[in-house]
Each structure stands twice: as C-alpha cells, then as structure tokens.
Amino acid sequence: MEAVELSVLAGDKKVTDALNSISDHGGSGVVATSEDAVHVIGVDELLQALRTKGDVALTDVKPSAGDAPQVSVTPMFANQPLESAKMAVVGNLTSKTANLLRTSVTLCRCTRDPTHVWLPDELSQAGRCNLDGAPVDCR
C-alpha cells in the first residue's frame, strides 16, 4: 500500500476551488472534509461534476469508489486537526491509485467562462474552449 500528499478543502468549497488547488499544489485529486465524512475526489470526478451539475460544493461530488473503504487520511502535521490542514497524507492506496493521484495534470480554463475546464486532450481544437470557442489558458 502507498500514500500521497493532497490538498485539503472544506466540503462547502466549490469544484472550481478544488481544480484551482490541484493547479496550485499538484497531484490530480483533493481531500474534501465535512462534519461527517472525508473523501478523496479525483480530477475526473471534479470535471464530471462541473460539466453535469455546475460549480457545486464538494459535498455534492461523488468520489470514485476505488480505494474509498480502505483509505486513511491524516494531516501533514501531527497536532493539526484535518479540518484546518492545508495538506494531508492519503494512505492505504493501491499503487495504481497512488500513481494516478500523485501525477500532476494540466488544466485548460476558458478565458471567457472559468467553469469551462478541460484536460488538454479533451480540446476539440487546440487552444480553444469546446463550448464557446474562446481561448483557453492551460497550466
């Protein structure tokens, strides 16, 4: 079993907040906390939620079932509550899931509408948003 470091966000934060955190801190997922649960949500689930539900709270995003039952999440600093942590160690992951989560992704955001977010290989036309044709900023 392996572990990765991911950003921690409160469950009331929006999908776009999580995508910004992924861009800023690397990896391809986040830890979402709420009063009754902790979930690891991958970039694919975030993008799917954004496209089907809009910029909803992370508590409204369905995490993948992959390693969910066995995952352990602890704050980076031992004396810090998870809810106030900026980063956490997600453990008990399979090698495949750990490799996916630790791999940084490039996200392409529409310059006209920041809720239009794409992975580079999803763009129908390089450098252009699939929905409105506006330029995209990839980073």
Residue 137: domain span: 106-139
Is the entire prediction scored with pTM above 0.85? yes
Q: Do both 128 and 80 map to the same domain? A: no
- pLDDT attached to residue 65: 55
- CATH code of the domain containing 10: 3.10.580
Of 63, 66, 62, nearest in space to 96 by CA: 66
Give the chain's domain count: 2
Q: Do both 69 and 134 map to the same domain? A: no
pLDDT in tens, the chain (139 residues): 899 999 999 999 999 999 999 999 999 999 999 888 889 999 999 999 999 999 999 999 988 755 454 578 888 777 788 878 899 999 999 999 999 999 999 999 999 999 999 999 999 999 999 999 999 999 9
Calpha distance 29→126 (Å, rounded): 24
Q: Do both 6 and 44 map to the same domain? A: yes
